[in-house]
């Protein structure tokens, strides 16, 4: 067996362990009985621990060193370099720190739940302080130059820095706020149809239908319900999604399903050659995933949910199919009113309820707070005050309590500091893919006008999905669009769309 084969075998085993871990996670979030949590937590920790042991073993490190100079082509070299870098990063993380971060997660989650129940951020503060201490140590172990937040941001989005994030967000802010002001000044009330009752079964039928329409392969996937929707894969041939049904707000399941189906297309579309390799395994994050970064993954879900799924031509072509299940709720609502309604803009204090236009403002607020918490310029106990100030400044809203303010997100209690910016990267990238697809393949735009997303999806498959983690996000974007992360196509898309919908 060559050194390269030995690398492949070990990474394949790591991938098997992590796919199994994903399966146990899916089960925990979809159908596990309530009392199963503690035992499942131990099982997940054991699987992650064994995967980490394999990844940091001397055998793997020496096999990579032996194989690299013998690489036979660019793909092989890139694959081996990816493994080498991941192994080096993992080895820099002290065992004690990794265990402490994992061990603190349950404590922080409990504290967050208790704080939400009491509607009092102060209850969460001691746990948050410990999270920040651990994340700061994690950042130091990963290494950073200008700002400790750099290390955490790059952990989720390789190549990103705090400075790049801030420049991107400030440009978005400049573009978004005037547009939002103009829309709010119009005073358009929320359309009533969105709150009309639609039964769960009707929503489920529609969700499956529209997931298929956008290309989700149900022979290699399935749709279930869960409190927090997600997509998860156990190799390209078993990629599952969930959605959430609210009988008093059917857009939740409809657009939530399109969103997760967009994630699933990425996972289902990866080249079979990359299955069980470093190009479908996040070795540092100990996560089996084909998407090259959180932001790139989110760009696929946002593209399907928003750029495609909230567009007028899509519904011109498919509205009748929705009426088949949602006809009572949509009685008297023509397709133009429907499209306006699903794109209704209304600033809300809650991120997960935010519309497309205000979503990134929620991210800006969190990024500023996270970065300041991490470098010590903001103390944990002062978060609610900062939260209220920034909500007023960005969304023009008053925060009335901690539960709907600084306690609304699960991220900090889950130890996910630095992940928020990836939602905005996803939005920004989604517009870049769309613009490039239209520009570079003449079949894409006319097909979209007819409600046919086939050529668009073929372009995405060719330029994004099939590569898995073969290229880092900047490289992937550069190859397919000719530029790096650039907010201008996204701002242009939003300006054009809302100017038209709101007759600005
Ligand atoms: Zn997503």
Of 274, 260, 150, 159, nearest to 214 by C-alpha is: 260
pLDDT at 335: 98
Q: Is 90 contained in some domain?
A: yes
CA distance 437 to 311: 16
Number of domains comprising the chain? 1
Are 351 and 404 spatial neighbours (Cβ–Cβ below 8 Å)? no
Q: Is residue 91 part of a domain?
A: yes
Q: Give the Cα separation of 36 and 56 in Å (integer).
A: 30
CA of 133 to the centre of ligand 1 (A): 28
Strands 239-243, 221-225: pairing kind? parallel
Pairing state between β 231-233 and 239-243: antiparallel
Catalytic residue, chosen from 79, 157, 231, 260, is 260
Check: CB of residue 301 under 8 Å from CB of residue 263. Answer: yes
Compute the distance from residue 55 Cα to the ligand 1 centre, in Å.
27
The C-alpha atoms of residue 481 and residue 435 are separated, in whole angstroms, by 8
Counting Cα atoms < 13 Å in the Cβ hemisphere of 164 gives 18
Ligand 1 geometric centre to CA of 127 (Å): 27
Question: Considering only CA atoms, which of 362, 187, 363, 329 is closest in space to residue 251?
Answer: 329
Is 131 a member of any domain? yes
Asked whether 252 and 198 are in contact (CB, 8 A), the reply is no
Residue 240 φ/ψ, nearest 5 degrees:
-105, 150
State residue 106's pLDDT score: 87
Two tokens, residue 321: 């199919």
Ligand 1 centroid to Cα of residue 254, in Å, is: 14
pLDDT of residue 231: 98
Structural domain of 85: 3-145
Could you give the C-alpha distances from 441 to 45, 438, 452, 459, 463, in angstroms and in order? Answer: 46, 6, 14, 8, 11
* Residue 157 belongs to a domain: no
pLDDT tens, position by position, for the chain (504 residues)? 999 999 999 999 999 999 999 999 999 999 999 899 889 999 999 999 999 999 999 999 999 999 999 999 999 999 999 999 999 999 999 999 999 999 899 899 999 999 999 999 999 999 999 999 999 999 999 999 999 999 999 999 999 999 999 999 999 999 999 999 999 999 999 999 999 999 999 999 999 999 999 999 999 999 999 989 999 999 999 999 999 999 999 999 999 999 999 999 999 999 999 999 999 999 999 999 999 999 999 999 999 999 999 999 999 999 999 999 999 999 999 999 999 999 999 999 999 989 999 999 999 999 999 999 999 999 999 999 999 999 999 999 999 999 999 999 999 999 999 999 999 999 999 999 999 999 999 999 999 999 999 999 999 999 999 999 999 999 999 999 999 999 999 999 999 999 999 999
Backbone angles phi, psi at 343, to 5 degrees: -110, 15
Q: What is the pTM of this model?
A: 0.97
Residue of 122, 152, 147, 150 lying closest to 135 (CA atoms): 152
Q: What does the DSSP 8-state code read for residue 243?
A: E
Q: Does a structural domain hold residue 355?
A: no
C-alpha of residue 266 to centroid of ligand 1, in Å: 12
**Cα torsion for 483, 488, 490, 496, to the nearest 10°?**
-140
418 closest CA partner among 382, 385, 373: 373
Predicted local confidence at residue 71, as pLDDT: 97
Q: Which residues in 325-361 are b (16+ Cβ under 10 Å) and which e?
A: bbeebbeebebeebbbbbbbbebebebeebbbbbbbb
In eight-state DSSP terms, residue 188 is: P
Sheet containing strand 231-233, strands side by side = 221-225, 239-243, 231-233
Position 35 in a domain: yes
Tell me how far the alpha carbon of residue 301 lies from the centroid of ligand 1, in angstroms. 6
Q: Does residue 81 belong to any structural domain of this protein?
A: yes
Q: How many A from CA of 230 to the centre of ligand 1?
A: 7
Is position 53 annotated as part of the catalytic site? no
Q: How far is the CA of 428 from the centre of ligand 1 (A)?
A: 14
CA distance 393 to 59: 54
Cα 454 to Cα 47, 460, 462, distances in angstroms: 39, 10, 12
State the SS3 of 117-176: HHCCHHHCHHHHHHHHHHHHHHHHHHCCCCCHHHHHHHHHCCCCCHHHHHHHHHHHHHHH
Structural domain contains residue 49: yes
* Closest by Cα among 501, 143, 95, 116 to 315: 501
340 Cα–ligand 1 center, Å: 23
């Amino acid at each position: 067996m060559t050194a390269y084969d030995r690398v492949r075998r070990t990474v394949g085993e790591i991938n098997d362990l992590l796919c199994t871990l994903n399966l146990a996670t899916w089960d925990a979030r979809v159908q596990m009985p309530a009392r199963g949590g503690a035992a499942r937590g131990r099982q997940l920790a054991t699987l992650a621990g064994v995967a980490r042991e394999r990844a940091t073993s001397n055998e793997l490190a020496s096999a990579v060193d032996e194989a690299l100079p013998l690489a036979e082509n660019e793909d092989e070299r890139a694959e081996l370099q990816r493994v080498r870098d991941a192994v080096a990063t993992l080895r820099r993380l002290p065992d004690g720190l990794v265990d402490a971060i994992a061990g603190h997660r349950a404590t922080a989650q409990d504290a967050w739940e208790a704080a939400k129940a009491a509607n009092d951020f102060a209850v969460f503060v001691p746990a948050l302080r410990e999270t920040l201490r651990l994340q700061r140590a994690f950042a130091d172990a990963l290494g950073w130059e200008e700002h400790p937040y750099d290390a955490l941001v790059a952990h989720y989005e390789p190549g990103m820095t705090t400075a790049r994030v801030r420049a991107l967000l400030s440009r978005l802010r400049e573009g978004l706020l005037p547009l939002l002001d103009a829309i709010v000044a119009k005073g358009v009330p929320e359309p009533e149809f969105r709150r009309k009752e639609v039964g769960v079964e009707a929503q489920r039928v529609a969700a499956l239908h529209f997931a298929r329409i956008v290309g989700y392969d149900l022979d290699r996937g399935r749709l279930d319900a869960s409190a927090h929707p997600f997509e998860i894969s156990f190799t390209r041939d078993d990629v599952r999604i969930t959605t959430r049904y609210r009988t008093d707000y059917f857009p939740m399941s409809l657009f939530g399903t399109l969103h997760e189906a967009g994630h699933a297309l990425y996972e289902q579309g990866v080249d079979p050659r990359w299955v069980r390799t470093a190009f479908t395994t996040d070795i540092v994050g100990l996560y089996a995933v084909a998407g090259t970064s959180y932001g790139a993954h989110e760009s696929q879900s946002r593209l399907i949910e928003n750029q495609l799924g909230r567009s007028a031509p899509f519904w011109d072509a498919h509205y009748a199919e929705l009426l088949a299940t949602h006809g009572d709720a949509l009685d008297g609502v023509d397709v133009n009113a429907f499209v306006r309604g699903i794109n209704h803009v209304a600033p809300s204090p809650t991120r997960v309820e935010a519309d497309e236009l205000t979503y990134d403002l929620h991210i800006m607020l969190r990024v500023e707070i996270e970065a300041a918490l991490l470098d010590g310029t903001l103390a944990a106990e002062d978060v609610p005050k900062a939260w209220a100030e920034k909500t007023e400044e960005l969304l023009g809203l008053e925060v009335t309590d901690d539960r709907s303010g600084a306690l609304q997100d699960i991220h900090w209690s889950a130890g996910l500091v630095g992940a928020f910016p990836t939602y905005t990267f996803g939005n920004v990238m989604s517009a870049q893919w769309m613009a490039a697809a239209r520009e570079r393949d003449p079949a894409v735009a006319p097909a979209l006008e007819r409600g046919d997303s086939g050529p668009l999806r073929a372009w995405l498959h060719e330029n994004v999905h099939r590569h898995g983690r073969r290229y880092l996000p900047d490289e992937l974007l550069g190859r397919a669009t000719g530029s790096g992360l650039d907010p201008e196509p996204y701002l242009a898309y939003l300006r054009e769309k809302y100017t038209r919908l709101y007759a600005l």
